Structure 1
Amino acid sequence: MHSHLSRGPRATTPCGVTRAFVALLAMATLLLSPTASAQQPVAPAPAVEVAHAPLRILWIGNSYSFYNDLPRTLTMMAMAAGENRVPAITAALVPGEFLRGHVLRGDVVRALEQQRWDYVVLQDNSLGPIQLPDSTVKYGTVLGTLAKKAGATVLLYVTWPRQATPQTAPVLVATYSRLADAIGATLVPVGPAWMAMREESPSSVLYMEDGSHPTPIGSYVAASVFYRVLYNKPAAGLLPHTFKTTDNRYQRTAPPNMVPPFTVPVAEAAAAHRAAERATRSAPQTRRELR
């Protein structure tokens, strides 16, 4: 069963996204539509010790993670591959948030201090590493240090540049590489994989109309990179994912009969797998083995 932790009603984005939440993705119900549940704080849990226990992941980020439900996509990909250890993800995702805001909010700090994790994903605001790189490194170091004390490997979600400013892609990689060096973290080079995807499948549309957020195909590329880093093997051969946008726990869109499911075409899925492989092979600080 999954639950939601929020701070009460807030103003929403044009897509109707709630302003703050923490969602627990539980393996047993990942393939079911989400249901309403009582809001409760995240309770401490014992450390993972069993060989086939789920991978406990705390995912800290914003809309680049919750659009198209990237955490669930990664989990479904692992389930489809028959992995022994499937992600069980607790997601702290706030629209437009910076790592600084996550630190000041305190929810993720308490989760890091009170629980054990296998992995912690850190994702800053998409402009943070470009405009405020020192802040990215400073607050990423705060969260990364706490994550390592909680027994976790830190994964840095390297995002893509805005569609109008592709020249900022190297700056994003450079800032996250600085943070990786500072805390001994692993890069998850999603942004470089997007750049590779433009060569593998030039007709693929990765950006939404706003020139910033990912389409389902863009999120599928991201999930392919996370899968490659977590499991030390390509996502090649896995079936394309069907996105049911109305099942997204983090957004409230149109009624189900108005938003049909979207399935990534087979050719684009294969291109996404190749792009993920290219990016992870060429990016620095990309860990190769699953702990």
Structure 2
Amino acid sequence: MFGLRFLLICCLCAVCSWAGTAPAKEGGSSKGDDRILFIGNSFTYFNQMPLMLQGLAQASGAALTCRMQAEPAATLQYHWDRPGQGKSRLEDSSWKYVVLQEQSSTPVNRAQAMKQYAGLFGKLIRDKGAMPVLFVTWGYREKQDSGGVDGEMQKVLTLEYARLAEETGAMLVPVGPAWAACMRQYPQANLYLNDGQHPSVLGSYLTACVFYATLFRKSPVGLPGTMAAGKQVICSIPEAQARALQKVAWETSRSFDGKKFLEAYAAEQSRMVGKEELKPKLTRDLTYDALVALVGKPSQANTQARTFQFGLRDRVTLLAVFSPEMKLHSAGFYSEEAGGSETVDVR
């Protein structure tokens, strides 16, 4: 499996070699074009998504040139620290928009690193006279057989990007929320490759449509689903599928509001139990049913091992192990934001 995935990534890197090696002064653009630089990784370069966006814009009569600096699994830190990567491309040319796409799990596991380097990029982007744009990525596929977007992962991804946008004034492009909306409306839509992470051609096309709708504030409905760059066909999506994806992109772009999302998240958090509030109640007399009454149903459960995970306020997870009588035996906390764990002295 690893070998096949590695081969797939290598092949796609070769197809998209213009992403990482094109010189700063690229050809093919005309004076007056809006110029966009994408800084990211495989979620950006798979299926040549920026060229899809360029094709959508040109089909609508807009002058747009898209370029990208993208490497497999690259983080924003990688693009900032490594010579010749995203920071260098940003400094060597002029752009109207610069799109920042963090590595897919970094906002979940290392939110502070994302915040630090997105902040550094954001300042440099503004110093160069461009607008920073945050690419809200999608959660991994929830189950191999269902194809649905992992709702909890999507919530955290959207949260961290929305927080960044609020702090930096960057523009949000709600791709992940559009993927989730698409999977709710069209459960059979195949947005993922078999690995449950990377985008299929349909997934990349939906992504390009969300970018078009957000950047141009226009509906992509009616634009082509088939596009080519020279003699190379980038995508060939049947009209009915293209229209469905375009509608989802437009509806999500119009309805998504980062500030409202943060307000709703804060309201949800206020109803949840916090770690310090719960800790004194974690005794050997605490039953499973009593714990559920306190914090709600578990997010994950291994009933045979009597081990359960519960979500608490501020992205803290409680891991609780119960005795055969379903009384608390041991417990511990894990903070996703702080990245630390704490064992509870259950007495």
Q: Which TM-score tier does this pair reach, normalised by the shorter chain?
A: 0.7 to 0.9
- The TM-score normalised by the length of structure 2 is 0.64
| Bigger radius of gyration | 2
The gaps in structure 2 that reach 5 residues or longer are 143-149, 260-347
| Aligned partner of 1:14 among 7, 20, 23 | 7
Shift of 1:270: 1.2
Shift of 1:269: 1.1
Listed as ranges, the matches of 1:252-263 within 5 Å are: 263=236
In the alignment, the residues of structure 1 paired with residue 236 and residue 190 of structure 2 have an alpha-carbon distance, to the nearest angstrom, of 14
Residue identity in the other structure for 1:92? Q
Residue identity in the other structure for 1:14? L
Q: Deviations over 1:136-166 (max 9, x none)?
A: 1110111111011111111111010000333
Q: Is the aligned partner of 1:42 residue 2:19?
A: no
Residue identity in the other structure for 2:70? L
| Aligned partner of 1:163 among 141, 162, 166 | 141
8 Å CA contact 1:201, 1:268 repeated in 2:
no
CA RMSD of the aligned region, Å?
A: 2.9
Q: Deviations over 1:90-126 (max 9, x none)?
A: 2100001111111111332233334321000000011
8 Å CA contact 2:40, 2:74 repeated in 1:
yes
The gaps in structure 1 that reach 5 residues or longer are 1-11, 26-38, 249-260, 287-291
Percentage of matched positions with identical amino acids: 33
Listed as ranges, the matches of 1:121-136 within 5 Å are: 121-136=99-114
8 Å CA contact 1:200, 1:271 repeated in 2:
no
**Which residue pairs with 1:100 in the alignment?**
77
**Which residue pairs with 2:128 in the alignment?**
150
**Which residue pairs with 2:203 in the alignment?**
218
- Bigger proportion of residues as strand: 2
Q: Is the aligned partner of 1:54 residue 2:36?
A: no
**Which residue pairs with 2:275 in the alignment?**
none
In the alignment, the residues of structure 1 paired with residue 235 and residue 166 of structure 2 have an alpha-carbon distance, to the nearest angstrom, of 39
In the alignment, the residues of structure 2 paired with residue 277 and residue 73 of structure 1 have an alpha-carbon distance, to the nearest angstrom, of 16
Which structure is higher in RCO with an 8 Å CA cutoff and minimum separation 6? 1
In the alignment, the residues of structure 2 paired with residue 44 and residue 179 of structure 1 have an alpha-carbon distance, to the nearest angstrom, of 30
Question: Secondary structure, in 3 states, of the residue corresponding to 1:174?
Answer: helix
Residue identity in the other structure for 2:40? G
Question: Secondary structure, in 3 states, of the residue corresponding to 1:187?
Answer: strand
Question: Secondary structure, in 3 states, of the residue corresponding to 1:95?
Answer: coil
Query: For this pair of structures, how many residues does the alignment match?
Result: 242
**Which residue pairs with 2:45 in the alignment?**
66
**Which residue pairs with 1:227 in the alignment?**
212
Q: Is the aligned partner of 1:202 residue 2:170?
A: no
8 Å CA contact 1:196, 1:278 repeated in 2:
no
In the alignment, the residues of structure 1 paired with residue 223 and residue 235 of structure 2 have an alpha-carbon distance, to the nearest angstrom, of 17
- Bigger proportion of residues as helix: 2
Shift of 1:281: 2.0
Do the aligned partners of residues 176 and 153 (structure 1) sit closer, same or farther apart at CA in structure 2, a change above 3 Å counting? same
Do the aligned partners of residues 238 and 141 (structure 1) sit closer, same or farther apart at CA in structure 2, a change above 3 Å counting? same
8 Å CA contact 1:44, 1:115 repeated in 2:
no
Shift of 1:24: 6.3
Q: Deviations over 1:148-202 (max 9, x none)?
A: 1111111111010000333211100111111112221010000000111113323
